[in-house]
């Protein structure tokens, strides 16, 4: 299955994923940007690279291994890439943090790199992720407009927030020690894998067969 940690920059996705990696059996851990980030990377690049990672997850799936992937692709993009229905299961967790703390992390990680408008864009993208996690009807054009033409948006654009398949777990790391957040990611992964084995995970085989 594909286990996806998503969210805007500096929420802690990669730190959490690689911190929990040693505790997991049968799970490969990768960061989205390992595929390479070109200059001028845009929405189309992100969506097509999401498809590349889904294909990588399918390679792992054939070997009986799950993929824990970090990156900024939200649930709607994961579901819309061409190969998504071939995955035996999908689960997404939004790793979030309060705006002030995200701003501090951005400055601390890349001093002098981001001006006020860039920081505002990161914060706006984070706010959009929160809305998207709650409701597929929250400004879907933020991902559907001007992206890769091969994306299959109608797999989910007709869903309501109450559809059981529209499920993004939210982990807020604001003010929390790393160890606690790592424990929560480990627990979330265990819950998703158990739900899949038990046949109760909504985004498992056949999820794309009905609108």
CB-based burial of residue 127 (10 Å sphere; 0-12 exposed, 13-18 middle, 19+ buried)?
middle
pLDDT value of residue 205: 86
pLDDT for 211:
63
Distance, CA of 104 to CA of 85 (rounded, Å): 39
Q: Which helix (H) or strand (E) holds 57?
A: helix 43-62
Longest dimension (CA), the chain: 49
Q: What is the CATH number of domain 2-209?
A: 3.40.50.300
CA distances 165 to 193, 197, 198, 202, Å, are 16, 17, 16, 5
Q: Where are the domains of the chain?
A: 2-209
The one-digit pLDDT tens for each residue of the chain (211 residues) are 999 999 999 999 999 999 999 999 999 999 999 989 898 889 999 999 999 999 999 999 999 999 999 999 999 999 999 999 999 999 999 999 999 999 988 888 888 787 889 899 999 999 999 999 999 999 999 999 999 999 999 999 999 999 999 999 999 999 999 999 999 999 999 999 999 999 999 999 899 987 6
> What's the whole-model pTM score?
0.95
Distance CA 90, CA 168 (A): 10
Element (H, E) at 172: strand 168-172
């Amino acid at each position: 299955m594909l286990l996806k940690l998503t969210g805007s920059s500096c929420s802690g996705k990669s730190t959490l994923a690689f911190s929990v990696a040693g505790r997991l059996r049968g799970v490969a851990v990768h960061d989205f940007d390992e595929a390479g980030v070109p200059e001028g990377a845009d929405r189309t690049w992100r969506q097509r690279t999401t498809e590349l990672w889904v294909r990588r997850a399918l390679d792992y799936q054939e070997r009986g291994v799950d993929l824990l992937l970090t990156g900024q692709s939200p649930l709607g993009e994961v579901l819309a890439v061409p190969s998504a229905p071939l995955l035996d299961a999908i689960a997404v967790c939004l790793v979030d943090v309060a705006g002030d703390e995200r701003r501090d992390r951005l400055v601390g990680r890349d001093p002098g790199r981001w001006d006020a408008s860039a920081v505002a864009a990161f914060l706006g993208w984070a706010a959009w992720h929160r809305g998207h996690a709650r409701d597929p009807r929250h400004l879907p054009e933020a991902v559907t407009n001007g992206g890769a033409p091969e994306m299959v948006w109608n797999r989910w654009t007709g869903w309501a927030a109450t559809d059981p398949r529209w499920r993004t777990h939210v982990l807020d790391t604001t003010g929390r020690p790393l160890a606690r957040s790592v424990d929560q990611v480990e627990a979330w992964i265990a819950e998703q894998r158990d739900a899949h084995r038990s046949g109760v995970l909504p985004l498992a085989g056949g999820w794309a067969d009905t609108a």
